[in-house]
Amino acid sequence: MITTENKKKILAAITANRVNYPSDAKHAASLGITTSVYSAVKNGQTERVLSDANWISIARRLNVSLRGEIEWKPAQTSTFKYVNAQLEFCQEASLSGILCDIPNIGKTFTARYYVAHHANAVYIDCSQVKTKVRMVKKIASEFGVGTHGRYVDIFEDLVYYLRSIDSPLIILDEAGDLQYEAFLELKALWNATERCCAWYMMGADGLKEKINRSIECKKVGYTEMLSRYGDRYSKVTPDDGREREKFLNEQARVVAKVNAPEGTDIALVVRKSGGGLRRVYTEIEKLKRG
């Protein structure tokens, strides 16, 4: 059962998310609800307009926590500033890029934060949509494009829409999880939206290895795809082990300083975290929950 308090949280997220869409109809479609239901919810009606399943689906799409998790403030870490700048540049110029770096440095948080504050930008977790059809349908639904009917029509409707709006950006996180046919379809989508749409692929070192290995094995499509994404891999963390440790600890310090309760021993949180941001969050949650 979704509580009234949780419905209000989801409603607030819907209101905040609306600015990223050109119309109520597109926003409603992206949330998977009809325009009449959307209108009722927009006017503050929370009872008997949506099923619990619908509320949960919308909460998932908008990344609303229903467990009472602590809200995290964005910290100006090196990763946050670097990824934010790259996304901004790609979207404004309709360019594409790939970021391959170690996990647990804030790539996903930054991408989600960017999407929440920029129109026509969507975030896709490829680990959840590994196949060609699921990936394309997910991208279409995030933009409010219909996902029912023949796959070829969904693909063409998505391309038509991407070519008709101002500077769309598609962020593909965990891109190394995509199946081969999905990678090929990304090339087709890129070709169909060239100079109209920006693409930004993110992953850990495994993504770089997968692409390089596929190119070495002369697997069809990978050389062309890398070329379309700028022919290079971006990276934030230093290669030198000692420098990387300093980098990670500084990131942990900045995040802890912004989010930890007043009076917290920041140095202790950083030491316990080992520079990993997920551990920073765990330590701060312990402190906030007392």
Indicate the pLDDT class of residue 37, thresholds 50, 70 and 90: very high
pLDDT the model gives residue 4: 87
| % of the chain exceeding 70 in pLDDT | 99
CB neighbourhood size of 40 (10 A): 17
Q: Taking residues 84-100, what's their average pLDDT?
A: 97
Least confident residue range of 1-5, 38-42, 222-226 = 1-5
CA contacts within 13 A on the Cβ side of 33: 25
For residue 66, the model assigns a pLDDT of 80
Per-residue pLDDT at 289 exceeds 80: no
Residue 243 is predicted with a pLDDT of: 96
Mean pLDDT, to the nearest integer, of 207-221?
A: 90
CB 6 within 8 A of CB 55: yes
Q: Quick one: pLDDT at residue 273?
A: 93
pLDDT band at 286 (very low <50, low <70, confident <90, very high): confident
Q: State how far the alpha carbon of 213 is from the alpha carbons of 39, 200, 208, 239, in Å.
A: 50, 20, 8, 21
**pLDDT reported for residue 91:** 97
How far is residue 160's CA from residue 155's CA, in Å, rounded to a whole number?
A: 9
CA 111 to chain centre: 5
- Alpha helix segments (H runs only) across the chain: 4-17, 24-31, 35-42, 52-61, 78-93, 107-116, 132-142, 151-164, 180-192, 205-216, 222-228, 241-259, 266-273, 277-289
Q: Which of 94-103, 213-222, 239-248 has the lowest mean pLDDT?
A: 213-222
**What is the dihedral sign for C-alpha 43, 46, 51, 57?**
positive
The type of residue at 52 is D
Tell me what pLDDT residue 69 has: 67
pLDDT of the residue at 180: 93
